[in-house]
Amino acid sequence: MLSHMPLCCFFFWGGWLINLRLILVSGKTKEFLFSPNDSAADIAKHVYDNWPMDWEEEQVSSPNILRLIYQGRFLHGNVTLGALKLPLGKTTVMHLVARETLPEPNSQGQRNREKTGESNCCVIL
């Protein structure tokens, strides 16, 4: 009965599922269904445990190095899809990359200040 329905429209006991289209650096994509309660760490573990056959060349050694990027920002492991207010029953695109550590939260802001010449110090008159 559900086989003719699009992937993004499955309903689970607590509500709609979120269809994530994950894109690798190579450009390969795959879609997965997740609950709004799933965290970035849960997603990384699920993808690692269900690594697509056509992604074999990009296989990583551990789920702990898989990172999600959404709207240009790395997601920390405890961030849930619900916290991101992703649309239920719709497809959301994220990038999936292998990276040991996340960048420092202020690193982008620091780079922008260096480019513009701004600083965090006070001017005394």
Residues in the chain with pLDDT values less than 70: 1-15, 102, 105-125
- The torsion of the CA quartet 49, 95, 99, 45, rounded to 10 degrees, works out to -20
Rounded alpha-carbon distances, angstroms, from residue 41 to 68, 81, 85, 124:
9, 11, 17, 46
Predicted local confidence at residue 90, as pLDDT:
83
3-state secondary structure of 33: strand
Predicted local confidence at residue 103, as pLDDT:
72
Q: How many CA atoms lie within 13 A of 44 on its CB side?
A: 25
Predicted local confidence at residue 110, as pLDDT:
53
Predicted local confidence at residue 112, as pLDDT:
53
Comparing CA positions, the residue from 69, 59, 64 lying closest to residue 92 is 69
CB 28 within 8 A of CB 54: yes
What is the average pLDDT value for the chain, to the nearest integer? 81
Both tokens of 80, joined, read: 């849930």
Comparing CA positions, the residue from 87, 96, 94 lying closest to residue 36 is 87
